[in-house]
């Protein structure tokens, strides 16, 4: 293990830590917390050490450099309360450097307008105040990311994003950033990583300002089974990847995301994960299929008895 790798890794993690987190409180732009990646969602949201290729624009941008040549990612998330999240991304790897762009559209749906002046009975039928008009609300998240591999073990990445939330009666926009580092220890496929996501200014609604949902993840992953330096047993056809993230959000106490991914012959993937210390989220699972460069993924997240589960689908071309 090179001393320069250790020094760079420590400096980057200390720099991330120095950004600091305020005490737990209310945050704005909650849609920025939601990942459109079915693989990451199925593995309990533990993305820091396992993000790879184009989809890492939504996780750890340091892993964008794993994409070789052109990669694409298209996903659809059927979120709670009939909201829809549509994401499109593309990236290109140039050896030790990779760049990528993405766009995400969030549709909150429409709401019927009511007015107290319309409240009452009309031709014997009670009208709860409906005016016949509707308003639509939504959000947009667009970004560009870059990743560089400084050594054969260490890479970093940065994503700059332009975010808009339109609530019809009020609209806010701003610039935010994601920062990530990734370190391949070289021992038994163990990878260490750290990210800070949604770092940026506060959002002001009327007279009150609220911070973004800034989140820090520190992750660890390794292959228990696999062909390349696994922890326990070598296998040319079977692979078992496990990962865990320690998560420090700005608006909640410390959380933990745990995930696992089993693959057969790098063709079929089964995934599962669990989120610890969340109000509603808990169990997650998903499936994936890969044929040459084409990848199809599905992820399901359980939100407890009071809320419907969340389904995510994606398709893309990868070369990792």
Q: How far apart are CA 3 and CA 78, in angstroms?
A: 46
Q: What is the pLDDT of residue 22?
A: 46
What digits encode the pLDDT tens for the residues 224-248? 999 888 999 999 999 999 999 999 9
Q: Which residues of the chain have pLDDT under 70?
A: 1-25
Q: Could you tell me whether strands 154-166 and 203-205 are parallel, antiparallel, or unpaired per DSSP bridges? A: unpaired
Phi, psi (5° rounding) for residue 61? -65, -15
Domain-embedded: residue 289: yes
For 214, the domain range is: 3-111+138-309
The pLDDT score that the predictor gives to residue 10 is 54
Can you give the pLDDT at residue 190?
A: 95
C-alpha dist (Å) from residue 248 to 66, 67, 196, 214: 26, 28, 10, 9
- Whether residue 119 lies inside any domain: the answer is no
Q: What is the DSSP track for 119-175?
A: EEEETTEEEEEEEEEEEEEEEEEEEEEEEEE-SSSEEEEEEEEEEEEE-SS-EEEEE
The three-state secondary structure class of 58 is helix
257 part of a folded domain: yes
Would residue 69 count as lying in a domain? yes
**CA 90, 91, 96 angle in degrees (round to 5)?**
175
Task: Report if residue 116 sits inside a domain.
Answer: no
- Residue spans of alpha helices (H) in the chain: 3-18, 38-42
Checking 235-240 for CB contacts under 8 A at 24+ apart, the result is 237/264, 237/265, 238/262, 238/263, 238/264, 239/263, 239/264, 239/266
Tens-digit pLDDT profile for residues 79-108: 987 889 999 999 999 989 999 999 999 998
Residues 198 and 211: beta-carbon distance below 8 Å: no
**What's the mean pLDDT when you consider all of the chain?**
89
- Residue 91, domain CATH: 2.40.160.60
Going by C-beta distance under 8 Å and a sequence separation of 6 or more, which residues neighbour residue 318?
52, 53, 54, 67, 71, 290, 293, 295
Is residue 127 assigned to a domain?
Answer: no
Domain annotation covers residue 104 = yes
How far CA 80 is from CA of 31, 102, 108, in Å, comes to 12, 23, 10
pLDDT at 17: 53
Rounded to whole angstroms, the Cα distance separating 80 from 303 reads: 9
Q: Identify whether 124 is part of a domain.
A: no
Domains contained in the chain, number: 1
């Amino acid at each position: 293990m090179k001393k320069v790798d250790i020094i760079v890794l420590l400096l980057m993690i200390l720099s991330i830590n120095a950004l600091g987190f305020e005490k737990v409180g209310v945050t704005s732009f909650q849609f920025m917390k939601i990942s459109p990646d079915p693989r990451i969602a199925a593995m309990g949201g533990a993305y820091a050490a396992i993000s790879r290729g184009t989809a890492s624009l939504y996780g750890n941008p340091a892993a964008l450099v794993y994409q070789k040549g052109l990669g694409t990612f298209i996903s659809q998330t059927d979120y709670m309360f009939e909201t829809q999240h549509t994401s499109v991304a593309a990236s290109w790897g140039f050896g030790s450097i990779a760049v990528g762009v993405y766009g995400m559209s969030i549709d909150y749906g429409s709401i019927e307008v009511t007015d107290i002046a319309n409240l009452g009975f009309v031709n014997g039928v009670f009208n709860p105040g409906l005016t016949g008009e509707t308003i639509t609300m939504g959000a947009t998240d667009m970004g560009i990311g870059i990743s560089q591999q400084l050594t054969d073990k260490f890479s970093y990445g940065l994503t700059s994003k332009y975010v808009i939330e339109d609530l019809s009666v009020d609209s806010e926009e701003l610039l935010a950033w994601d920062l990530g580092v990734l370190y391949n220890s070289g021992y038994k496929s163990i990878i260490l990583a750290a990210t800070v996501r949604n770092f940026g200014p506060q959002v002001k609604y009327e007279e009150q300002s609220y911070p973004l949902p800034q989140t820090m993840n520190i992750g660890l992953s390794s292959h228990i089974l696999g062909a390349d330096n696994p922890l326990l047993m070598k296998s040319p056809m079977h692979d078992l990847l496990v990962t865990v993230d320690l998560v420090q959000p700005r608006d909640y106490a410390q959380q933990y995301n745990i995930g696992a991914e089993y693959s057969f012959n790098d063709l079929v993937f089964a995934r599962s994960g669990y989120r610890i210390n969340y109000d509603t989220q808990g169990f997650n699972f998903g499936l994936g299929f890969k044929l040459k460069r084409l990848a199809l993924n599905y992820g399901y997240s359980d939100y407890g008895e009071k809320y419907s589960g969340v389904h995510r689908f994606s398709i893309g071309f990868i070369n990792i």
